């Protein structure tokens, strides 16, 4: 299976998408408000600390 990481943008946040669901669960544990998507995490533009977690 091929994996990918993709980003999408919204009005107040951006989302990082991946088919590596274990990695997404790991990130959801690290972020304060990661969103509800199964294969993504959401980060508010204003939350610089959480953006740095993804980097």
For the chain, give every domain's residue range. 5-54
Is the predicted pLDDT of residue 29 greater than 70, yes or no? yes
pLDDT band of 42, cuts 50, 70, 90: very high
* Closest to 41 measured CA to CA, from 23, 3, 12, 4: 23
Would you state the structure tokens that stand for residue 39, as one six-digit string? 């294969």
Is the predicted pLDDT of residue 1 greater than 60, yes or no? no
């Amino acid at each position: 299976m091929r994996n990918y990481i993709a980003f999408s943008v919204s009005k107040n946040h951006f989302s990082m998408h991946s088919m590596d669901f274990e990695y997404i669960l790991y990130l959801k544990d690290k972020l304060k408000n990661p969103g509800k998507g199964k294969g993504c995490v959401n980060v508010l533009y204003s939350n610089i600390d959480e953006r740095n977690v993804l980097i």
